[in-house]
Structure 1
């Protein structure tokens, strides 16, 4: 098959080799440092002092070594387990091997069958990473979860029946046959057990049959039986020609018996590297024999903890490990070593023809974007239909708000007071739509880590996710808009007839569209639901203040006018106003109504008629009690809502919705790297 070169070109000069030779993932002298800024002491309001010196720069950076020249190898068909106390660098080493640390920050060499792995997409294509937490859609069944993963990870060249067959075999391999039709569940919805959920998480990431499987503490939080079953599944996966590398905190004796190779770390340094069966001999020669009735892993971890509690206490163990490896390598000189060299040479050649490294796996994504959109939309729709609480909550809020506003602003007349009340209705109506949209803020926050896990290994494009969310969330917006418009339009007595109703509904829909986009955008940059609600409420308050209702656009100071045009409430408010008051033949103030809302209003009707007659004589105009004083366009001009037409307001609101979704995509793109610096 074709081999991908470092310059992204292809070559076909691989020599065919036996496909039964094992793959070997080697790592040599992996070193990882992180910079630590020293604390600074405040001397005065303007001058700082470093902890280590009274002079010099205000900040001094030191480094901490997380991995210190760690070397080893993992072989196909075997499980390599990385052990060590908390803070020893287990997860960091897993991340380094899985290319989850920026290469500019990591020193050392990682190679697969002698070929340096410096093409990120190639490693993603042949590997999978299972996170410590079970990040799954709770309302999907086990079979649906694995099937959607198969559809996203396998190319279209694999038929749907073949994908179903692979999922069925995977369910059998994972021992999930009895719960295949059960929902996954979570803390709020009862589903499968914790051990079964962990196996589903593993299945999601191995449905495409990866060559290398990385797992970060897959037994964390499980009871001993569930943990053993998980590792037994991993052993079966490894025996099916995969390299399995996992970190584990404190394995039981039964689990230790399933491991092929263990690597113990202490403060980022290797203190043992070999098969578990070598542990008694190694520590016996070190002078700390392992009792036969004691868990070997627990003994080593306790010993490491004991030694590292003493300054330089771990140093003798490291020195002994180095000398022990030298003596072991010297023992294997000669025929055994030559045979090992020949084996590696064959293995390197076998890397060009290994049956798992199919050509399609080197593509960045398994499917075209439109197929990803279709699959993600179906998955989101299934999960949404089984969790209708959010939509029902929003629908209930819309119905209740519409009922209250419809009965409160019941059948408004065309008097000056009715005009004021109509304007107030529009302001409250459109601002309420944005507040209702804030209820969808937790949706993506709950999906954030699922999204990161799935896109970290190119399961799908970020753009496909944004488009699918847009498609799946749009039908509920239509229902909400139609419901609110039908409840309030006729109850309030708004103008325009059927065309006016359609435009009013379109305005409400555009408000929901922009508001949901704004909430979606905020969810990509905020990590906490409470913080998200606080930010949404704060922004909506400013949007209402600067919308033009409380203060006309013409009276907003020039240094604040920019926020008026950023206000999302401005555009639906002005669109609804123009839809209501744009008819030049409709009069809203006639004759003595001009005195409404003034100090003259309480006076008798005849007094106001006489005052109107005097004004008519002074202005030399024929003003009677039926003369139209103010039309709808005059009201719009008075309220300064004529700078944009109602259609321009509507399209601007739609554009804001697209803009926020585009920014949502940009922040997803920037935030889904999932790499340490």
Structure 2
């Protein structure tokens, strides 16, 4: 089992993608990756190796168990059956009697085609997800499991497969040290027992987690600085003149020792003057190190392919049969339709309201069918029915676009082919269309006064059913074509506008310009309008002949709008609409099969950062660099002692604020017991999440809220901040001695969420201006507001990024660390006295976390009250806090003095 370390931008993700065979085909790649001596072109790498992304992409409406079970069904059993057969043969030959429990387990995980299997429950238990197995995954808009649990779902989604080569990218984000240790320990056991290969990238591994690994790969600026046994890594750097301090974690040391800013503090040779050692020099020295020489000698010998079992590398593109994959996708789509039933009910209600409005307009004792103008009125009602169903299908656009990121991930991981995903989204929506069309036709047909022939009623029903299906298929195709909500909405709005104009009702056939007539003939709505008009106006109610006319009234009405008058145009319209339904669904499938997600993964780097990156590789001295050193957070801790809390004048902040303290006593928070837990025999009506929590937060004091994942840290902060809109809250909250009033508290408090959600198409400065505009009092002058924004940007060190686009997380724009600082700045420009921060260092390595914590420390030094939940802090970050609250699922205890007090407490409890 190998640990991959390196600072942000060093190439960890790119290396893992290359090893897993998941690099973009457009990239130019040199070199060769082999599995047991076989090249990537000799087997299906995407199914022989599993890459676990650092980005959590899941369908929010599915539970944890359903997410993992679907993944297990799609990935299949792989080589487990062949492995069981070979194991049984060898046991029989050696006359070995297998352990009964192990034998049952091996046979259970080797059986495919099951809705749920034992491997899913096993992985849920290993990852600690059994306590939330029946909880919705959730997302930014739907409340579900915590961020740390969602990260474990991402890991479990791939672990339920049969791949024996695992490449895991930053799987510990949002997890506490204890949970990370248990997961890595379990992975180590699986790797050793099954003889697999596991490479894990971690950001801030605790020493006990670091010691679980066999090998270390240290990557810096795209170069491998060290690769080999964990026991020799410190020996290598000591030969280079660098020594890890006693109170420093080895993993943190390794990530900082190649950095120009942090390297000097680790220089240990007194006989030589320190000089920066660039990355290339480290890489050359490693080739001469005995571990590097052994590695080169090993790689020079070709692998003996005869030692490779034929079943160890997968040659089939998918893990299950086509019918099994289709069945899994159908069942998942049906499940999502039931979970989103509110949308379909609302769509039906919307049609009911519109149909009722039209019915009331036409409701009368005497229907007028005597003039051409009367016919135009009824034609308008027919056109309105078509438009209603076209707009009703518009909701498919958003529903399809939202699911695309998850689809692209699962498609690229070869969970299923695109057609297996597209067919259920079409077929399962047909009953919904039947119900929606029934509302408009069977309720309004006779009330409006259409032709009473029952045959024409059902012909209108068939036509509107095809229009409904055509609209849904078209908007799904546009969603797959646009791939983002902005692009898809733009394309769909334009397409709908053109189709309405060229429908034959807004502009008649004769009024369409010659250069635009082709659009008339390809418009699906034109065929629908012609067919539904012919069906109505060739009926018995429109058979009278007007004076001075040689045609029946119905034909005169059709001719007045330039429409066709032959009865065959109804069936031409039906055939055309049916063809468009099939065409749009085929195009939807092709778009899903071949198009890639929009946007390139590109991080914003300032000019100084680029200079520093080049200098760290070559060893040159960066010219004109104005970047501040990440430094030691304790420097700011020593500086703050000379300032009194709330001394905003010393900091030069142009907007004053009142320092406020928060006290809470016996806080209890509970929610209604979930139906799933009641079904398992739980008798209580409420589920208690906070159990009598008490404490306080003071101005100018940085408080850490620590505990295992799922202990309730975020829940406590949500309750204190007034962000819980449901459930039952009990207890007392006071602000500087006064009872808390949420209306007032919202104006003096800020909340930095764990998920950094920002508008992607604005710059850093524009984000802050917009936040300040909306949240600062109206009496603040424009110049004062601008000065305050500049001060906040300086406080959180965003000056060099002021004109950088925010971008999308994991796609482009700001890095994770820069987004964290922007999140803090967006809250600071509101000039709050109290700030809650939910895991501000999650997803960051030790160096980036130090930069964010320096920003947090600067915020505290202005006299504000700051509370942070935190996971896996390094010793430097931990010592930056003044007070610590340790919170478990059962109880809470608090230490309000120096950090050493909490260490003394645990030492007294015989803990180390």
Q: Does 1:152 align with 2:109?
A: no
| CA shift for structure 1 position 496 | 4.3
Q: 1:371 to 1:210 in 2, by over 3 A?
A: same
What residue is the counterpart of 1:505 in the other structure? 461
Q: How far did residue 385 of structure 1 move?
A: 0.3
Structure 1 residue 161: Cα displacement: 5.8
Aligned runs of 1:284-433 on 2, under 5 Å?
284-306=238-260, 316-329=278-291, 348-352=305-309, 357=312, 361-410=314-363, 412-416=367-371, 417-433=373-389
1:416-565 correspondence to structure 2 within 5 Å: 416=371, 417-565=373-521
| Helix, strand or coil at the partner of 2:168 | strand
- 2:560, 2:397 → 1: CA distance? 37
Specify whether residues 500 and 323 from structure 1 end up closer, same or farther in structure 2 by C-alpha distance, changes over 3 A only: same
Measure, in 2, the Cα distance between the counterparts of 1:327 and 1:654: 71
Please give the residue correspondences for 1:204-219 in structure 2 after superposition, counting only pairs within 5 Å. 204-219=157-172
Q: How far off is 1:350 after superposition?
A: 2.5
| 1:276–1:154 Cα change, 3 Å | same
Residue matched to 1:109? 32
User: Which protein is bigger by CA-based radius of gyration?
Assistant: 1
* Separation (CA, whole Å) in 1 of partners of 2:228 and 2:502: 69
- Contact (CA 8 Å) 1:110, 1:116: kept in 2 or not? yes
Which 10-residue stretch deviates more, 287-296 or 641-650? 641-650
Partner Cα distance (2:242, 2:173) in 1: 29
Which residue does the alignment assign to 1:167? 120
What TM-score results when the alignment is normalised by the length of structure 2? 0.56
Identify which of 34, 53, 56 aligns with 1:131.
53
Measure the CA separation in 2 of the matches of 1:350 and 1:196: 39
Residue of structure 1 equivalent to 2:235: 281
CA contact (8 A) 1:588 1:628 kept: no
* Corresponding residue SS for 1:118: helix
From 571, 577, 589, give the equivalent of 2:533: 577
Shift of residue 561 of structure 1?
Answer: 0.5
1:528–1:223 distance in 2 versus 1, CA, 3 Å: farther
Query: Does residue 1:90 correspond to 2:52, yes or no?
Result: no
Structure 1 residue 362: deviation in Å?
A: 2.4
Shift of 1:480: 0.8
SS of aligned partner of 1:271: strand
CA distance 1:332–1:212, change in 2 (3 Å): closer
Distance 2:294 2:216 in 1: 20
Cα distance between partner residues in 2 of 1:216 and 1:293: 27
Residues 1:383 and 1:237: Cα distance change in structure 2 (over 3 Å)? farther
How far 1:438 sits from its partner (Å)? 0.9
Distance apart, 1:651 and its partner CA: 1.6
* Alpha-carbon distance change, 330 to 272 in structure 1, aligned in 2, over 3 angstroms: closer
Q: Contact (CA 8 Å) 2:481, 2:488: kept in 1 or not?
A: no
Query: What is the deviation of 1:341?
Result: 9.5
Task: Indicate if the aligned counterparts of 1:263 and 1:272 stay in contact, CA closer than 8 A.
Answer: yes
Matching of residues 31-42 of structure 1 within 5 Å:
none
TM-score, normalised to structure 1, is 0.75
Conserved 8 A contact 1:390-1:440: no
Equivalence map 1:634-673=2 (5 Å): 634-642=556-564, 645-672=569-596
Q: CA deviation at 1:176?
A: 2.6
Label 1:544 to 1:86 Cα distance change in 2 as closer, same or farther (>3 A): same
Partner of 2:65: 143
Equivalent residues of 1:377, 1:471 under 8 A apart: no
Per-residue Cα deviation, 1:258-292 (whole angstroms, up to 9, x for no partner): 33322222221112223333332222221121101
Q: Measure the CA separation in 2 of the matches of 1:98 and 1:140.
A: 27
The change in CA–CA distance for 1:564 and 1:302 in structure 2 (over 3 A counts) is same
Conserved in 2, the CA contact under 8 Å of 1:216 and 1:247? Answer: yes
- Residues 370-423 of structure 1 deviation map (CA, whole Å, 9 limit, x = unaligned): 332221011111122022222122112111111112212335521323212111
Does 1:183 pair with 2:145? no
Q: State yes or no: 1:198 paired with 2:122.
A: no
Q: Secondary structure at the match of 1:215?
A: strand
Give the C-alpha shift of residue 516 in structure 1: 0.7
* Higher mean C-alpha deviation, range 519-528 or range 642-651: 642-651
Do the aligned partners of residues 659 and 155 (structure 1) sit closer, same or farther apart at CA in structure 2, a change above 3 Å counting?
farther
Once the two structures are overlaid, the 10-residue window that deviates more, 412-421 or 376-385, is 412-421
Q: Which residue of 2 aligns with 1:597?
A: none
1:634/1:308 CA distance change after superposition, 3 Å: farther
Aligned length: 553
**2:657 aligns to what?**
none
Q: Equivalents in 2 of 1:555, 1:583: separation in Å?
A: 27
User: Which whole-Å CA distance do the structure 2 matches of 1:290 and 1:478 have between them?
Assistant: 70
Q: Deviation of residue 219 (structure 1)?
A: 2.2
1:259-274 matched pairs, under 5 angstroms: 259-274=213-228
The alpha carbon displacement at 1:539 in A equals: 1.9
Q: Is the 8 A contact 1:462 1:665 kept in 2?
A: yes
Note the C-alpha offset of 1:316: 4.3
User: Closer, same or farther in 2 for the Cα pair 1:324/1:537, shift >3 Å?
Assistant: closer
Evaluate the alpha carbon distance shift between residue 232 and residue 407 of structure 1 in structure 2; reply closer, same or farther with a 3 A threshold.
farther
Shift of 1:649: 0.3
Distance 1:673 1:233 in 2: 34
Moved more, 164-173 or 210-219: 164-173
Q: Against the structure 1 CA distance between its residues 83 and 329, is the aligned structure 2 distance closer, same or farther, given a 3 Å change threshold?
A: closer
The answer to whether the 8 A contact 1:399-1:483 is kept is yes
Q: Secondary structure at the match of 1:459?
A: coil
Superposed CA deviations along residues 145-189 of structure 1, whole A, max 9, x for unmatched, are 222222222169934569622323333333333333333233333
Q: CA RMSD in A?
A: 3.2
1:401/1:224 CA distance change after superposition, 3 Å? farther
Find the counterpart in structure 1 of residue 896 from structure 2. Answer: none
Shift of 1:513: 0.8
Match in the other structure for 1:611: none
The answer on whether the counterparts of 2:463 and 2:532 sit within 8 Å (CA) in structure 1 is yes
1:618 alignment counterpart: none
Per-residue CA shift, 1:287-346, capped at 9, x if unaligned?
A: 121101012222232232226999xx876453244334424159869xxx99x799x888
Compare 288-297 and 125-134 and name the one that shifted more.
125-134
Q: 1:86 to 1:485 in 2, by over 3 A?
A: same
